Structures are given as C-alpha cells and as structure tokens.
Amino acid sequence: MGNQTRSLITVAGCVVVALFILNLFRVNRPILDANAADTEAHVYTEGVVVSGNANIEPDSFLQYKIDLNRRAKLKGMFQVPSGEPRIAGLILTESDLEKWMSGGNFQAVTSTGQVPSGTINRVLTPGVYFLVLDNRVSKDKPAKVELDFNVE
C-alpha cells in the first residue's frame, strides 16, 4: 500500500469518527421544555430561619416566610435590648397574614403580645407560615432587635 492510500484511509477514518461524535451530540441534545424556566425546585424551610440583628422602623414590621413539608418545631427568641419599644412576635398562616396586613380579623397560630423580649416554641403542621415581628404600635421609635429562630 502506498503512502497516498494510507493518508486517504486515515482522513476517511477521521471523518467517520468526527461524524459519529457529531451524531452523538445531535441525538442526545437536552430536551427544551417551555415550562422548564418557570419551574424551579421547591425549597422548604429547615434550620436557621433568621439569626442576628434587625432594625424595625416605627409603624412597620418584619416578616419571614416558613414553608414546611412536614411537622416541625419553630423555636426561637427575640429581644429589644433597650426594652423599648415593645414589639409583638406572631406566627401567621398565609391567609391570616393577608387579613392581618389589611386590618381584618385574623387568627394567629401564636402571639407573644407587645413585649421587650419573647420566645416562641411551637410545633407546626405542613404549610406556609410567616414569622412576624411587629413594631406598628410605635409611631416614632425604631426597634433594634436581636433575634434567633430555627426550624427543628
């Protein structure tokens, strides 16, 4: 066999291999789903909900979403080190949060009332809840709060 024949066989072999590899990529393309961009993996709450310091402006509140897919215990504390203003800690369902925000009748899962410090230790069933720290009673003084809440 001559050098020219060997070169031709080598080039033909390389072309066949290249076509094979291209065909693998073509056949195994990822399926593009129109809904794929809209669907993200649902993330449920576990571990630390919030920990650290927060500032709640006068006539305002903070809320932290808690999404549970199992029975779990929400355990934590908050404290206004200066003692003033007094704030309330509440756990509300999603529908009761809407009622609470609009000033309607609502039923809190639990509430501390207006206090300088409070603890919450409550077992919750699967669902969406909101931990709310409420400083709406104070019209002129922000609440500097230390807080630590976990889902166990």
Q: What is the pLDDT of residues 82-98, one digit of tens each?
A: 999 999 999 999 999 99
Q: From CA 11, how far away is CA 6, in angstroms rounded? A: 9
pLDDT digits (tens, 9 = 90+) for 88-133: 999 999 999 999 999 999 999 999 999 999 999 999 999 999 999 9
d(CA 96, CA 100): 6
Which residues, including other chains, have CB under 8 Å from residue 117's CB and lie 6 or more apart? 77, 78, 79, 80
Q: How confident is the model over 41-89, as pLDDT tens digits? A: 888 999 999 999 999 999 999 999 999 999 999 999 999 999 999 999 9
Type of residue at 117: S
Is the pLDDT confidence value at 33 over 70? no
All domains in the chain, ordered by first residue = 47-151 (2.60.120.680)
Closest to 93 measured CA to CA, from 133, 72, 55, 124: 124
Position 79: which residue type?
A: Q
Buried b (16+ CB within 10 A) or exposed e, 136-149: eebeebebebebeb
Distance between first and last Cα of the chain:
77
Looking at residue 59, its pLDDT comes to 95
